[in-house]
Amino acid sequence: MKVNIKKISELSGFSPATVSNALNNKKGVNHDTAMQILAIAKECGYITENKIKSIKLVIYHDSGKILSDAPFFSNLLESVSNACRENGMEAKLVNLYRHDADYAQQVELLLEDPSAALLLVGTELNENDAKAFASTDIPLVLLDCNFDDLPFHSVLMENSKSVERAVSYLVSLGHKKIGYLHGDVASPNGGERYQGYEQGMAKNNLPVEKKYLFSLPVSITGAYEYFDQLIAKGTELPTAFVAYNDMVALGVMQALQKHQIRVPEDVSVIGFDDIEFSRVCAPGLTTIKVQTKELGELAVQKLLQLVKNPHSIHTKTQMYTEFVVRGSTAAPAVN
């Protein structure tokens, strides 16, 4: 007789809904209950140690601010889901919230289920929490993040060199006063991008001036409101900015335009991601384009290879970006 959820329900004494929720790592199931159900599922052959039945797309949330509104992530998740389906794998979405009371138990359940490979979106992940995932025997690929001191298979975009090239482009236009717009949430990507800004400034023998460094909310509205207040206070501005992402860049452009500060005649702006709105705003946003569709597809392919060869050497795959010039950048005005 084929073992199914109904059979596991009969064996365990728990309802089919509870069994399904436990097997899919859904919230609301008591930890001990979930572990008991997983044990029975293994014993009766529903879960086998060597048979991956699905891919769990695990979204790690810390503040949640970076992931909340950015179109980049919805496009990335769609790409991953499509790639799973095209390869005959069921994709299951798991949202993992760092500040939930049962966070540790949720992680344990993920790492105790040998029927699912894990694709962990670590955009907001910190190194300490990443350690729990680094030692698992379950096939796991870290997406949009990497930690040099932890042995992960990872797929990520080029961050620091991309921003370094953006700074050099502004210098080639004649800019010397170049600022940086941080996101107000710490993240591995954010750290690498700022590092690229510093490298670009050093490469071009330009000083990093603290008065031109700003930390803003990572949404268009939040960045607009924050920068609107800064301009109203008479804050000194550089002739160009590189922003952590397009959302921040677009919010700052709106604030500048509100105060009749022309983009790019008075201040040039460069973003990161190339979200759809960056192409249609006025002026169009010069930005660093990430091939989101290909990034998701590559992560799934790497995970499927890992399923077939679970003891392969750990590798980091970094995808190059493309610099896209639009109307938000120009030579600085001559005073």
User: 227 with 93, same domain?
Assistant: no
Give the mean model confidence (pLDDT) for residues 88-115. Answer: 88
Q: Are 266 and 252 in contact (CB under 8 A)?
A: no
More confident: 65 or 264 = 264
More confident: 130 or 25 = 130
CA distance 272 to 1: 54
Residue 71 in any domain: the answer is yes
User: 60 with 105, same domain?
Assistant: yes
Bin 13: left if φ > 0, else alpha if -120 < ψ < 50, else beta: left
Question: How high is the mean pLDDT of the chain?
Answer: 89
Residue 330 in any domain: the answer is no
More confident: 46 or 83 = 83
Instruction: Please enumerate in sequence order all residues whose Cβ is within 8 A of that of 308, keeping only pairs 6 or more positions apart, or say none.
Output: none
CATH number at residue 175: 3.40.50.2300
Residue 168 in any domain: the answer is yes
CA distance 28 to 42: 21
- Could you give the number of structural domains in the chain? 2
Give the mean model confidence (pLDDT) for residues 84-108. Answer: 88
* Selection from 203, 244, 211 nearest residue 230 by Cα: 211
pLDDT above 70 covers a percentage of the chain that reads 94
Residue 67: its pLDDT value, please?
62
Helix orientation angle between 16-23 and 31-43, rounded to the nearest 10 degrees: 90
User: 210 with 283, same domain?
Assistant: yes
Instruction: Please enumerate in sequence order all residues whose Cβ is within 8 A of that of 71, keeping only pairs 6 or more positions apart, or say none.
Output: 275, 276, 277
Residue 242 in any domain: the answer is yes
User: What token pair was written down for 91?
Assistant: 């994709």
| pLDDT band of 69, cuts 50, 70, 90 | low
pLDDT at 260 over 70: yes
Q: Are 316 and 154 in contact (CB under 8 A)?
A: yes
Give the mean model confidence (pLDDT) for residues 230-241. Answer: 97
pLDDT at 65 over 70: no
Residue 35: its pLDDT value, please?
81
Residue 194: its pLDDT value, please?
98
Residue 246: its pLDDT value, please?
95
Residue 68: its pLDDT value, please?
59
User: 143 with 9, same domain?
Assistant: yes
Q: Which domain holds residue 310?
A: 5-157+294-319
Instruction: Please enumerate in sequence order all residues whose Cβ is within 8 A of that of 23, keeping only pairs 6 or more positions apart, or say none.
Output: 5, 8, 37, 38, 41, 46, 47, 113, 115
